[in-house]
Amino acid sequence: MVERDVGLPSFWDGAYRSGKTVWDLGEPTPVFRRLLKWRQFAAGRMIVLGAGHGYDAREFARRGFSVVAVDFAAEAVRWMAALADPQASVEIVHASIFDLPHTLDGSFDYVLEYMCYCAIDPARRGDYADLVARLLKVGGRLIDLAFPLTRHDGGPPYAVSVEEIVAQFEPRGLTLMESEWPADSHPARRGREQLLIFQKMP
């Protein structure tokens, strides 16, 4: 069953206001921290979809990435602004990811996905994949920590599977280059998330 209001900012604002934000680690995601520490990706222009409080967006910005963080919940955006790091600025966009202008097309080296794909109405996953495909430059990469790899009904979070994600992205020109079960996932999420790296092909 799809939560009636999941596509509305008010649903997420309500969660942020009431503190029902189980997804919020209160710090950057350990898996992304490790990618940065090992310099797995050269710094470039990145967009973070459904950025929440922006811990990951700020962490990439601290490592020299030029980061745009998008969220449609006013509460999330307010926190992102309050937590801003003057040494590592992030461009905050208060908008639905589905309303991002076409002027952004082809302008990102990276899209960072963590818990936005599982937060939207599953009926919109094709729109999400279209969006990622158009935002990336040719050769650009989607860094997707896919969660939750479970089989439950309902949400959010709505269940995801690697097969379904690949079936969304590959027809849109994104090829799965790497996948990994991260040993450094948050303990409560270990075994329920996989790191997937897709690349946009010419």
Closer residue to ligand SAM in complex, CB, 77/136: 77
Q: For residue 6, give the nearest of 98, 84, 103 by alpha carbon.
A: 98
| Residue 132 binds ligand SAM, judged by CB under 6 A | no
Size of the site for ligand SAM (CB under 6 A): 19
- Alpha-carbon distance of 186 to 24, in angstroms, equals 11
Query: What's the longest Cα–Cα distance across the chain?
Result: 45
The single residue among 51, 142, 146, 160 that binds ligand SAM, judged by CB under 6 A, is 51
- Alpha-carbon distance of 58 to 88, in angstroms, equals 7
Q: Least separation, in Å, of the C-beta of 112 and ligand SAM?
A: 9
The single residue among 32, 59, 71, 133 that binds ligand SAM, judged by CB under 6 A, is 71
Q: Least separation, in Å, of the C-beta of 40 and ligand SAM?
A: 19
| Residue 24 binds ligand SAM, judged by CB under 6 A | yes
157-161, long-range: CB < 8 A, 24+ apart: 157/23, 157/115, 157/118, 157/119, 158/2, 158/118, 158/119, 158/120, 158/121, 158/122, 159/118, 160/117, 160/118
Whole-angstrom Cα Rg for the chain = 16
The single residue among 61, 68, 70, 160 that binds ligand SAM, judged by CB under 6 A, is 70
**Helix, strand, or coil here: 91?**
strand
Q: Which of residues 99-128 bind ligand SAM (CB under 6 A)?
A: 114-116, 119-120
Alpha carbon 8 to chain centroid, angstroms:
18
- Alpha-carbon distance of 4 to 14, in angstroms, equals 14
The single residue among 36, 97, 111, 135 that binds ligand SAM, judged by CB under 6 A, is 97
Stretch that binds ligand SAM, among 44-52, 82-90, 164-172, 182-190 (CB under 6 A): 44-52
| Residue 23 binds ligand SAM, judged by CB under 6 A | yes
Q: Least separation, in Å, of the C-beta of 186 and ligand SAM?
A: 10
User: Which positions lie near ligand SAM, rule CB under 6 A?
Assistant: 12, 23-24, 50-52, 70-73, 76, 96-98, 114-116, 119-120
